[in-house]
């Protein structure tokens, strides 16, 4: 059983999802104190130090990348959305930070042997088909120096087994609403989101679909891409538990 929602996203669909509407609700969904905590966890998990060169794939509006730069990392961010990248650059300029922002496709990176660490945060891995997702890992590996680290932040799919499908998530900012209708497809291992934004008297719909990977699948893909060791953690770097919301995977080249 397959249907349109289970198809991997096109780049134009990704762009339309990560739009000005996405930015509008961003501080409600990810308040500054949450971002600060996450940056602390990323710093520890990737063993970063002053001057470490770091690449964020799917950097969005720079909420993590700019904070890492404030802590002293040399940061590059890549994203497909020009709207989010414009916001990231403006925020970096406001903070007087030098962060390199690049518009591009994470399946085809221009860098080789350049970074000490690469990360994909906030469920940024899994948008494409199997081959495309594995290509993201291969490109991340190629962009890392020997001894580099890769961090992937995933939803823990075991924690979703208790969910009745669909689930509804509502975010409100003033009089504006964002409604996410979430479905888990057990046959394709994809989590599918239909997003409805009600804002300024208008209704807009977008979709997002991503492949959900378990730890053993991650290990297979990462070892295939040349990583020597792979560790598992839970939310914000704590111990992994089957009922916890997140699975954090750290791989060492």
Beta carbons within 10 angstroms of residue 188's beta carbon: 17
Query: Under a CB-based contact definition with an 8 Å cutoff, are residues 188 and 100 in contact?
Result: no
Question: How confident is the model over 163-206, as pLDDT tens digits?
Answer: 888 999 999 999 999 999 999 998 999 999 999 999 999 999 99
Average pLDDT score, the chain: 95
Q: How confident is the model at residue 1 (pLDDT cuts 50, 70, 90)?
A: very low
Task: Tell me how far CA of residue 105 lies from CA of 31, 172, 178, 240, in angstroms.
Answer: 27, 31, 27, 30
- Predicted pLDDT at 6: 59
The model's pTM is 0.95
Question: How confident is the model over 75-120, as pLDDT tens digits?
Answer: 999 999 999 999 999 999 999 999 999 999 999 999 999 999 999 9
**CATH assignment of 4-156+214-252, among 1.20.1440.230, 3.40.50.150, 3.65.10.10, 3.40.50.2300:** 3.40.50.150
Mean pLDDT score, 225-246 = 97
Query: Under a CB-based contact definition with an 8 Å cutoff, are residues 118 and 151 in contact?
Result: yes
Domain ranges, ordered by start, for the chain: 4-156+214-252, 167-206
């Amino acid at each position: 059983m397959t249907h349109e929602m289970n198809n991997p996203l096109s780049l134009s669909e990704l762009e339309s999802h990560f739009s000005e509407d996405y930015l509008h609700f961003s501080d409600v969904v990810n308040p500054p104190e949450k971002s600060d905590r996450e940056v602390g966890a990323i710093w520890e998990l990737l063993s970063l130090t002053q001057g470490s060169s770091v690449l964020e794939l799917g950097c969005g509006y720079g909420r993590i990348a700019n904070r890492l730069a404030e802590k002293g990392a040399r940061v590059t961010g890549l994203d497909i959305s020009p709207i989010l990248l414009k916001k990231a650059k403006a925020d970096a300029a406001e903070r007087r930070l030098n962060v390199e922002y690049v518009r591009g496709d994470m399946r085809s990176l221009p860098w080789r042997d350049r970074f000490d660490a690469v990360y994909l945060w906030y469920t940024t891995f899994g948008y494409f088909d199997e081959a495309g997702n594995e290509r993201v890992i291969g490109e991340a590996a190629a962009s890392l120096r020997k001894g580099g680290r890769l961090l992937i932040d995933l939803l823990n799919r075991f924690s979703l087994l208790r969910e009745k499908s669909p689930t509804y998530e509502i975010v409100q900012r003033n009089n504006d609403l964002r409604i996410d209708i979430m479905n888990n497809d057990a046959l394709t291992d994809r989590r599918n989101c239909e997003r409805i934004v009600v804002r300024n008297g208008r209704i807009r719909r977008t979709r997002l679909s991503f492949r959900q990977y378990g730890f053993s699948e991650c290990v297979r893909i990462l070892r295939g891409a040349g990583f020597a060791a792979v560790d598992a953690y839970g939310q914000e770097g704590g111990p992994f538990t089957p009922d916890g919301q997140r699975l954090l995977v750290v791989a060492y080249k």
